[in-house]
Structure 1
């Protein structure tokens, strides 16, 4: 297979058939890159910086990871390996999907740089594949593979969209120098004027009646997650339980 035929890092053998024996592994490089990105952001995880971290020459690392996209792919798969999927599927689909959602959210919050990674093409990393196998295995006995893909896409979209909003909100607050409560306090006079104007009846109901805005972000996430799981339940045969 020629270089032109490779479309992702997983198609490349980690140990080339020819040349000197590798000194470093993809796992070492990914670990160093994740450590740097966690501390300073994704852009800081350059080949030069990683090489310094592990004591290698910057150019030598391209033997292991040919491109920036390959590096990010390795990093993303490395953090997917943190998701605890042991024992899934357990037979309780709702408990399994709840557990997965909490695990994925926690992983994103530990590694907020993941929110800046834009990937649309499928990933075939070993950790990603294992998660997909276990996750889709939860619903496999109840629905067709196409229905399974659709339901998991709905769940994943909710999790990733919600946690990305949490991460972006935290960044905006950091730039403002305010806590969330301080930001809300400063916004209150303007919101109060909007409510009293009578022009925004839905906003008035949100401000005066809604419980969700007063929940922690974690509890807001769980509230929405249960609504998503209710939708999934409606698509499953009645014999599968709630």
Structure 2
């Protein structure tokens, strides 16, 4: 082997040469993070990040948009599966293996702009007639754990679009969501995002990729390596700027 090729080998990250197990990635319709356009093309800042990670792994993996409960269940039950973007909560910590963070998210209540409901603490939201949410979502679980009895949860596809339509029509008084969800969801259902306002920030949480629990540690290190690398080389910043993501929720040093 010539000295030139020895140098190239030594300078190349070890994970670029190692074989990777095939992983099926699942994501949901989640506002600016992941969404399907009118031509059935998958977009979103977390989608672009994971696609770049897949590219660096050799490109043998795929992403599928599915309802949240299905993707979450597959990542729990099927080896070789992963779901994103997944908040890393205490309850979920030991259910998966984790790579991230992709970003941070603020969990918020939205209300109609003309609403007079005042929320200065979480308990105040129990005064709302109905709060829109969806089954299996960690934000729903936060409210259930806090003793909320006024939740109107839905299942199936496009939960953000369906809940925002319900908020716009007055069928619910609050919608629990993430701060990045409003603008793109409003655009999708063709309503002015100015018709709504943030009522209260519930909490902030790191968002990750959740891999099946039996994923080998060596594989996790490779995926984490790809994510760390694209954060260092400017790719992460370029993706977040492309989608106009508020820098305050970027997960980068």
Q: TM-score range by the shorter chain?
A: under 0.3
Return the index of the structure with the highest Cα Rg.
1
TM-score (norm 1): 0.24
Relative contact order, CA 8 A, sep 6+: which one is greater? 2
More helix by share: 1
TM-score (norm 2): 0.23
